DNA sequence: TTATTTTGTTTCACCAGATGAAACGTCGTT
DNA sequence: AACGACGTTTCATCTGGTGAAACAAAATAA
């Protein structure tokens, strides 16, 4: 699509290696070679660089790599309020007040999504949304948003996950992802839970990275497809506002 | 000194830029150029790379850079128990039990040190050590250990800090740093607080990075110079053990 | 206002140094 | 002993990272 090449390959690759640890906390060099599709020598050298700077460490027994103390050090210097869960809360509340359905925020963790923030509708019948809940990436509107906008071979790994539900058609799933990328929202009707519908959009940073999936969910009695589509512009607006904060 | 060159320059430099944010949470490009002593073009390109991957973000108004959401993301995937404050606690307790003086752990934050962990002596007269206390890098045994083993121009910045105490001789301070690097421990007698003495050693990661300063402190009535020097081997042993954990 | 400085962005020719293939080492397994 | 899996090192090739310098934009001075 866009062709901007003001980036440095070697650095880019080193950062990619760091991001591998989001999938799995401990990695052998071989696994990193597979994930990044770089040559053994390159990964070896970049890992040596990262290790020398303390960004990764290596267990001398298992010889596996994991994130090093520098990450911990940097994390201490990142503003607590940079946590999307805190940063996005006011905008989520505004959205909930406008529509009065439950609003959730999901980020990916490996092959799952985690609800890191939620504000519930104030109606008697409402979707309850405990923070911290973990759900698979195979079903649900926000799952598809996350997979649709994540670069790399996440899709392949989700599809080949042994936990993939036998009731779900892989080809349909792939087709839905395409649709999501063009229409920029995802809808699910009673996909994971009977009686529940949801509509989700992606939150991107200014640089274009996927930060999280924003979801509006409620009972199908109030949320038919037509209704949900009418909510989309409001959702998109909220996601844009949130993106600006990151 | 040591000549190992299995590292990648570009990646190394990108990581150096990230570490600049430990000093100051918001940096203009110019400041990063100064700190890293790289050329403008290089910093510009590397920042673009870091921004594209979400490791730094740029405030569109001030045009200043700060750490991005990826750091937050990685931080969520680092084991909570990788925090030195938790990781080193058992070894600190062992040390305290052996010597029965207060043991503290300091890390640097800008031009200060922060006590991130402490276990106190169980004697009636003892050094009390509240966790979270912030002290200047100009005085105290652990300050000098931190400055002595930190690469880059930390020393210059400490010396030119307007907060430098007028009572302390800069040349003496520099000389003491040299001594610390050769003898591998630092001693302070009533330097910051009357009646208190301290002996400190560095904790290095296996890769050779300074993680923290380990300090034993107590009343001068029990801690004369001779006595403290006898404690050094035990301190060094503890620091070695801790270094293995990182 | 115009001149000057400071800071950020883009271009470009050069060649340092990043790269991947392949060889080598070192385990553990059959 | 032969094999395979994984990590390490070497090396010839040539990509792509580099800094200087030009350019642009914005702030400050005059």
pLDDT digits (tens, 9 = 90+) for B201-214: 999 998 888 999 99
Task: Based on the fold, state whether residues B72 and B177 are members of the same structural domain.
Answer: no
- Tell if B38 CB is < 7 Å from nucleic strand C: no
Q: Span B122-147, mean pLDDT?
A: 95
Domain encompassing residue A38 = 9-77
Q: Based on the domain organization, do A33 and A151 belong to the same domain?
A: no
Residue A19 located in a structural domain: yes
> Is the same domain home to A85 and A168?
yes
Please choose, from the candidates B199, B201, B198, B195, the residue with its C-alpha nearest in 3D space to the C-alpha of residue B236: B201
Which tokens go with A57?
Answer: 């460490």
Same domain, A119 and A34: no
A149-165 average pLDDT score? 89
Q: What CATH number corresponds to the domain at position A66?
A: 1.10.10.10
- Whether residues B219 and B240 share a domain: the answer is yes
pLDDT higher than threshold 90 for residue A153: no
Q: Are A227 and A216 in contact (CB under 8 A)?
A: no
Q: Are residues A99 and A122 in the same domain?
A: yes
Is B4 part of a structural domain of the chain?
Answer: no
The integer distance in angstroms from the CA atom of B42 to the C1' atom of D19 is 8
Q: Are residues B170 and B240 in the same domain?
A: yes
**Which residue of chain B comes nearest to A77, CA vs CA?**
B22
Contacts of A1 (CB under 8 A, 6+ apart): none
Interface touch A207/B57, C-beta < 8 Å: yes
> What total number of domains does chain A contain?
2
Q: Are residues A167 and A205 located together in one domain of the fold?
A: yes
- B29 CB below 7 A from strand C atoms: yes
The whole-number average pLDDT for the span A103-120 is 95
CATH of the domain at B157: 3.30.450.40
Determine, yes or no, domain membership for A1.
no
Q: Is residue B196 part of a domain?
A: yes
Q: Which nucleotide is closest to B46, CA to C1'?
A: D17
> Between A and B, how many residue pairs show a Cβ–Cβ distance under 8 A?
175
Q: Write down which residue in A77, A101, A119 finishes a domain.
A: A77
Same-domain status, B59 and B138? no
Q: What is the mean pLDDT of residues B131-159?
A: 93
Helix pair A40-52, A29-36: axis angle to 10 deg: 120
Kind and range of the H or E run holding A101:
none
**B143 belongs to a structural domain:** yes
For residue A71, the chain B residues in CB contact (below 8 A) are 71, 74-75, 78
> Are residues B167 and B232 located together in one domain of the fold?
yes
Instruction: Return the structure tokens found at B157.
Output: 């910045």
pLDDT at B118 over 60: yes
pLDDT at position A2 is 37
In a domain? residue B48 = yes
Q: Nearest 5 degrees, angle CA A138-CA A20-CA A52?
A: 170
Residue A5 is predicted with a pLDDT of 60
Residue B107's pLDDT is 95
Q: What is the pLDDT of residue A6?
A: 75
In tens, the pLDDT along A133-151 reads 999 999 999 999 999 999 8
Closest CB from B15, B51, B107 relative to A207: B51
A18-37 pLDDT, tens per residue? 998 988 888 998 989 988 88
The reply to whether B58 and B111 lie within a common domain is no
ipTM value of the model? 0.87
Q: Residue A1 pLDDT > 50, yes or no?
A: no
Per-residue confidence at A3, pLDDT binned at 50, 70, 90? Answer: very low
* CB-based contacts of B62, cutoff 8 Å, min separation 6: B26
pLDDT at B246: 82
Asked whether residue A196 carries a pLDDT value surpassing 90, the answer given is yes
Kindly report, residue by residue over B14-34, the tens digit of the pLDDT.
999 999 898 888 899 888 988
Side-chain half-sphere CA neighbours of B200 within 13 A: 31
B87: CB partners within 8 A, 6+ apart: B81, B242, B245, B246
Round to a whole number and report the distance in Å from the CA of A35 to the C1' of C21.
Answer: 20
Q: Is the pLDDT of residue B5 over 80?
A: no
Query: Residues A69-107: pLDDT tens digits?
Result: 999 999 888 877 788 999 999 999 999 999 999 999 999
My answer on whether B29 and B63 are in the same domain is yes
pLDDT above 60 (res A200): yes
């Amino acid at each position: 699509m866009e062709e901007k090449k003001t980036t440095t390959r070697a650095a880019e690759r080193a950062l990619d290696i760091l991001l591998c640890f989001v999938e799995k906390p401990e990695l052998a060099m071989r696994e990193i070679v597979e994930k990044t599709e770089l040559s053994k020598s390159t990964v070896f050298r970049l890992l040596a660089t990262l290790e020398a700077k303390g960004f990764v460490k290596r267990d001398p027994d298992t010889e596996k790599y994991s994130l090093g103390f520098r990450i911990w050090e940097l994390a201490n210097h990142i503003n607590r309020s940079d946590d999307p869960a805190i940063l996005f809360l006011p905008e989520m509340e505004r959205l909930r007040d406008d529509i009065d359905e439950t609003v959730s925020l999901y980020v990916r963790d490996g092959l799952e999504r985690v609800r890191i923030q939620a504000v519930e509708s104030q109606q008697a019948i409402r979707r309850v949304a405990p923070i911290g809940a973990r759900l698979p990436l195979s079903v649900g509107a926000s799952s598809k948003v996350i997979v649709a906008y994540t670069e790399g071979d996440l899709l392949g790994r989700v599809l080949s996950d042994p936990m993939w539900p036998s009731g779900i058609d892989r080809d349909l799933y792939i087709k839905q992802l395409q649709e999501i990328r063009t229409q920029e929202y995802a809808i699910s009707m009673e996909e994971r839970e009977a009686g529940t519908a949801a509509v989700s959009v992606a939150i991107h940073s200014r640089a274009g990275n996927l930060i999280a999936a924003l979801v509006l969910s409620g009972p199908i009695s109030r949320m038919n497809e037509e209704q949900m589509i009418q909510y989309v512009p409001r959702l998109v607006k909220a996601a844009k506002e949130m993106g600006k904060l990151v």
